[in-house]
Amino acid sequence: MTIPSSAAAPLPGRGPVEVALEGGPADVPRTLRVMHDVVSDGKIKIPRNGGYEHFERVGASPESGGPPLFRWTTRTKVAE
């Protein structure tokens, strides 16, 4: 799922959530704020350099009570 952007105010409990990212290219941030629905889907697709970096949820971050942890799985290119 692509990271959604919305100008509308989020519903309570449905706003942005911080997630931890593991793996992937070195210039991808290690933490990211995404909408709650993205976290519940278990997949994050980040647009980057003419393609997408794909991450899948693997559980909680190593820190107890930390943000959800997503691990890099693959990179795809945008279809022309």
pLDDT in tens, 2-11: 454 444 444 4
Task: Name the residue among 51, 53, 48, 71 with its Cα closest to residue 61.
Answer: 71
pLDDT digits (tens, 9 = 90+) for 32-58: 999 888 888 899 999 999 999 999 999
Is the pLDDT at 12 greater than 70? The verdict is no
Cα torsion through 59, 62, 66, 71, rounded to 10: -50
Phi, psi of 28 (to 5 degrees): -80, 130
Specify the pTM.
Answer: 0.75
Mean pLDDT over each residue of the chain, to the nearest integer: 82
Q: pLDDT class for 62, splitting at 50, 70, 90?
A: low
d(CA 76, CA 78): 7
